[in-house]
């Protein structure tokens, strides 16, 4: 049954992308115009079209309602990317219509950098199914190193992962 749901979700994602004439996967160059939080940005592509991007395989703390380190994570990404020209490597379209992608600036994987600096978690539950094995290992090693060095969100003893934070907020409502 679980496999059926996964297959259905993949088909819907592909259908959504096809309906919007977005080839999956693909890459393009864009200028970053807005950083919403530590894993979501907006860009202006080479055709002048606005695009919403969800950084693939990471999950950053929530900014609103305020989760510990959410603002710092967003601000770190802002400092790196605001008004920068980046390469967007799109792998999927999520249920909110955002392109799920790796962001590359000066040949550096910004998604990975968010993990390395302690500004995001490796989103293993998603990555385990979809991320290339070598990239998965890099991202996981980066999280372990950031945790060992107590960088960013790892300064706190037991930081609450964003997926748990969202679940707690849903249950509280």
Mind telling me the catalytic residues? 54, 62, 98
Sign of the torsion formed by the C-alpha atoms of 147, 117, 132 and 127: positive
State how far the Cα of 138 lies from the Cα of 145, in Å rounded to an integer. Answer: 10
* Contact in structure between 88 and 27 (CB atoms under 8 Å): yes
DSSP 16-78: HHHHTT--SSEEEEEEEEEEEETTEEEEEETTS-EEEEEETTEEPPPTTTT-TTHHHHHHHHH
Closest C-alpha to 94, from 65, 64, 135, 52: 52
Report the Cα–Cα distance between both ends of the chain, in Å, rounded: 29
């Amino acid at each position: 049954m679980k496999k059926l749901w996964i297959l259905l979700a993949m088909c819907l994602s592909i259908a959504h992308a096809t309906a919007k004439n977005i080839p999956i996967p693909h890459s393009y160059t864009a200028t970053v115009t807005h950083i919403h939080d530590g894993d979501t940005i907006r860009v202006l592509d080479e055709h002048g079209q606005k695009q919403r991007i969800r950084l693939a395989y990471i999950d950053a703390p929530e900014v609103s309602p305020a989760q510990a380190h959410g603002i710092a994570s967003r601000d770190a990404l802002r400092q790196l990317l605001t008004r920068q020209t980046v390469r967007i490597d799109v792998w999927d379209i999520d249920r909110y219509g955002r392109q799920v992608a790796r962001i590359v600036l000066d040949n550096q994987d910004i998604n990975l950098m968010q993990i390395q600096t302690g500004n995001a978690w490796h989103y293993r539950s998603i990555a385990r199914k979809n991320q290339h094995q070598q990239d998965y290992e890099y991202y996981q090693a980066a999280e372990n190193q950031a945790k060992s060095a107590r960088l960013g969100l790892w300064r706190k003893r037991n930081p609450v992962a964003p997926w748990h934070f969202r679940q707690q907020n849903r249950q509280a409502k």
